[in-house]
Amino acid sequence: MSRRRAGRRPWHRPGVAGAAAAWVVFRTAACLAAETPPGANPAEALERPVVEVIGTSPLPGLGTDKKDVPGNVQVYSSSDLSGQRQSNTTDFLEQNATSITANAAQGNPFQPDVSFRGFTASPLLGTPQGVSVFQDGVRINEPFGDIVNWDLIPQAAIAGIQVIPGSNPMFGLNTLGGAIAVYTKSGADYPGASAEVSGGSFGRRTLEAEWGASRGPLDLFITGDLFDDQGWADHNPSRVHQLFAKAGWQNDKTDLDVSLTLADNKLQGTQTLPLSLLYDIRQAYTYPDININKLTFLTVKGSRFLSDAALFGGNLYYRHYRNSSVSSNVNDDFGSVDPDSGAVDEIAATNDQSTITQDGYGGGLQVVLTGTPAGMKNQLTFGASVDEAQARFTQYSQDADLTALRGTVPAGEFELQTDADTDSRGYGVFAQNILNLTKQWTLTLSGRYNHVDIRVGDRTGTAPLLNGDTSFSRLNPSAGINFNPTDHLTAYAAYDEGARAPTAIELTCADPNAPCKLPNDFLADPPLKQVVSHTVEVGARGTVSKLWHWSAAVYQTRLSDDIEFISTSAGAGNAGYFANVGATRRRGFELSGDGRLRSLTISARYSFTDATFQSAFLQRSPDNSSADANGAIQVEPGDRIPSLPRQVLKVRLGYELTRQLNIGVNVLVSDGVYARGDENNQDVNGKLPSYTLVNLDAHYRPRPNLEIFARVNNLFDRRYYDFGILGQNFFTGPNRTFGPAAGVGPVSEQFRGPGAPLGAWIGVRYSLGAAAGSADTGSGDDAR
């Protein structure tokens, strides 16, 4: 059973060098933190601690008042993240954001599949991606596969996160179900210095330091993270090293920022386990499975008011990404007979080694014009963007034996399987107009034209059919209307269209007569159609007094020419091809409310997501108990899409025991999901069980500049599973050894991805300057 993995190198202790660096930061901050930041610039609003506007396009602009946005937008600030002390950003979103779920498909806390309204942003090559993710206006879905590497987003640098639903065309490709926009801190808005250390369960230890300052029009912000743990499971350590720096210059008309993100991470994952092995959820099915992610990400963004009514903005970026991975896999063909030679395949396992080296660059320009035609307030935005990327992909395979503990031992040399270049170019032009028809009514119209060219080239000279060029183009429109009868109520309705072009890995793995093995093989295959989304949303939000806020939304997104991976393997479903399978649909509703009762803060979010296939197709799934003699299952309209829970409830309670001591609790209740391979919902194992998780956090401030914090995850040590896949368990021999070697064949089972058990951590944060008072432990939406 093979999945793209993660692994980690032991973290070097910070020691004397780290302490000395922290001291320099503190002393420098003491000199600069008291400087008065420059005058406020409206174009810099999204970097501030309290977010008052919504970014309606990725490029620098004025944003839009939330009351005029036709969608159930969610906003989270840096204080929301720091108040809960989650180990990574995706954990925070899973525990707090409406309609966002995550699963353990990768077996690593930094590499989950994150789904929003039934659409996924995943680090797994080959997973259909339907959510676009941005950092400071730059789309960070990697061009090779459109994957999202969540471990490359520096959590300590986040000023705010906006979760934008629907197929908003202003956010470009991949925005089928929504977009997630991350905005980073600046030294002007986050002055002072701080450092924190923490440690606890699973051998985890962390060190984080940050410093921000401004002098006149100049500002600087720097933060670094060192995260290391041994993992809660066997062969599951993690190392995440991140550095983020931003330098800015601004006055009342101009705002210019240059930022640099560096990362050097090693992530090791555990695979899903068959039901017969779940007596010990800490064991690995096979190992090793390692990912090493390295990133250099440079951005320049700026804006200037050409007049009081005209803002010019734009950005440039360069992104160098390198992934090196090793994946251990049982040989699904073990024991088979070659029809030509009559030889029996006696290779028990393989080690697959792959490398992705990618360089991406591009930029965009945007103009925002404000005025009052016919006495009506109006904001017109138009612009263009260019994104280019070149990637080289190499993959090697090595025969291997298996130890009694299911580790792979090399039994040969690595042999080249694939060596290919890919080149992608994306061009877009867009426009949006927001017109306040009256004080109560606001009309939003927007559209974007995208053109994508994808080229694949063989470097070996032995696979000329791999060479090819494919292009995709489409104009995507959007319209929305907002009604604000009072200052305390907003109602809206919207219609959006979006598109996703097939990725290079999908285009080169689309022939049923020549299946490929994910995520490693490229073949010469017929082209696919691009996926097109149509979204309708109706909702309302409001306030009851200044302390209570609520929202409700009903939506439907229908995809045409959706792309699915059609399995051809007899194992865990990692060999096959991609195909357009017709229509799929996600529809549902969302309810949320939050407020305060004296010292108690309350937040509750409920989501219902009905994600179904709407076209019939045949899927090969020989390990599904309902499969026919050829190992195929018939998927019918109305069958539920695997891996997506139908109902999720999230509750957050915070209580201020004293002015110095706060405690918080998160409760997550999730419905069970169908396993991949059970697309017809007929397998005898049925859905995975539903589960409830309770997490605790506490913060104590004996002094304004000193904070002691603690966190407990999975308080009741609940055993739960949030991901499943049907496959064959080859370890059916004595003491769970490789069964076929003992004359015992593989057994079809449901494999499950276990969640982490009980874990507890404690840490200390020390601050100087303005940072001493900035770590608000409150929770909730800062954009009211």
The whole-number pLDDT of residue 172 equals 92
527 has pLDDT over 80:
no
- Residue-wise pLDDT tens digits, 26-67: 343 333 333 334 446 766 666 666 667 898 899 988 889 999
Instruction: Give counts: helices (H), strands (E), the chain.
Output: 4, 41
pLDDT of residue 12: 37
510 pLDDT band, cuts 50/70/90, is low
Q: Is the pLDDT of residue 23 over 80?
A: no
Q: Does the structure show a pLDDT above 70 at 450?
A: yes
In three-state secondary structure terms, 31 is: helix
pLDDT band at 465 (very low <50, low <70, confident <90, very high): low
Q: What confidence score (pLDDT) does residue 145 get? A: 87
| One-letter-per-residue 3-state SS of 440-473 | CEEEEEEEEEEEEEEEEEECCCCCHHHCEEEEEE
Within its chain, how far is the Cα of 26 from the centroid?
33
Answer for the pair 400, 355: CB distance below 8 angstroms, yes or no: no
CATH C-level class of 15-773: mainly beta
pLDDT band with cut points at 50, 70 and 90 for residue 417: confident
| pLDDT computed for residue 32 by the predictor | 38
More confident of the two residues 7 and 230:
230
What's the whole-number mean pLDDT along residues 711-723? 96
Given a cut of 60, is residue 1 above it in pLDDT? no
| DSSP for residue 71 | S
- The arithmetic mean of pLDDT across residues 135-141, rounded, is 96
- Structure tokens given for 400: 């291997």
Q: Tens digits of per-residue pLDDT, 291-341?
A: 999 999 999 999 999 999 999 999 999 999 999 999 998 988 887 787 778
The whole-number average pLDDT for the span 600-625 is 96
What pLDDT does residue 301 have?
A: 96
d(CA 666, CA 564): 35
The Cα 128–Cα 507 span in angstroms is 12
Question: What b/e string do you get for 343-366 counting C-beta neighbours within 10 Å, with b at 16 or more?
Answer: eeeeebbbbbbbebbbbbebbbeb
Tokens of 379: 């904001």
Give Cα separations from 459 to 20, 142, 182, 326, 503 (angstroms): 48, 22, 37, 22, 19
The yes-or-no verdict on residue 769 having pLDDT over 90 is no
Q: Is residue 678's pLDDT more than 70?
A: yes
pLDDT of residue 700 exceeding 50 = yes
Q: Which of 84-88, 457-461, 704-708 has the highest mean pLDDT?
A: 704-708
**pLDDT for 180:** 97
Would you say residue 525 has pLDDT above 60? no
Q: What residues contact residue 41 under an 8 Å CB cut-off, 6+ apart? A: 250, 251, 252, 253, 254, 255
Q: In what order do the strands lie in the sheet with 721-729?
A: 273-274, 747-754, 721-729
- Confidence (pLDDT) at 733: 84
What confidence score (pLDDT) does residue 47 get?
66
**What's the pLDDT at 74?**
96
Q: Which residues of 189-223 are buried (b: 16+ CB within 10 A; e: fewer)?
A: bbbbbbbbbbebbbebbbbbbbbbbbeebebbbbb
- Separation of alpha carbons 85 and 182, rounded Å: 18
| Long-range pairs of 512-517 with CB within 8 A, sequence gap ≥ 24 | 512/566, 512/568, 512/577, 512/579, 514/577, 515/568, 515/569, 515/575, 515/576, 515/577, 516/575, 516/576, 516/577, 517/2, 517/352, 517/569, 517/574, 517/575
- Mean pLDDT in the chain? 88
What was the pLDDT predicted at 44?
64
Structure confidence at residue 745 (pLDDT):
77
3-state class of 203 per DSSP? helix
pLDDT-based confidence at residue 344 (cuts at 50, 70, 90): confident
- CB atoms under 10 Å from CB of 415, counted, come to 9
Give the per-residue pLDDT at 743: 65
pLDDT in tens, 488-500: 999 999 999 999 9
Report yes or no: 226 and 14 within 8 Å, Cβ to Cβ.
Answer: yes
Q: Is 172 exposed, middle or buried (0-12, 13-18, 19+ CB in 10 A)?
A: buried
Maximal CA-CA distance, the chain: 84
Lowest-pLDDT range of 97-106, 112-121, 510-519, 605-614:
510-519
The share of the chain scoring above pLDDT 90, in percent, equals: 73
pLDDT at 587: 98
CA distance 353 to 781: 44
Task: Determine the 3-state secondary structure of 155 from DSSP.
Answer: helix
Percent of the chain with pLDDT over 70: 87
Express each pLDDT in 170-222 by its tens digit. Answer: 999 899 999 999 999 999 999 999 999 999 999 999 999 999 999 999 999 99
Least-confidence region, from 404-418, 419-433, 727-741:
727-741
Q: Which DSSP string do the residues of 561-607 spell out, in sequence order?
A: S-EEEEE--SSSS-EEEEEE---EEEEEEEEEEEEEETTEEEEEEEE
Q: Among 497, 534, 368, 379, which residue's Cα sits nearest to residue 443?
A: 379
Q: Which residue has the higher pLDDT, 603 or 524?
A: 603
In this structure, what token pair is assigned to residue 524?
A: 């010469």
On the question of pLDDT at 506 being above 90, the answer is: no
Identify which has the larger pLDDT, 259 or 393.
259
Domain boundary assignment for the chain = 15-773
CA distance 451 to 463: 28
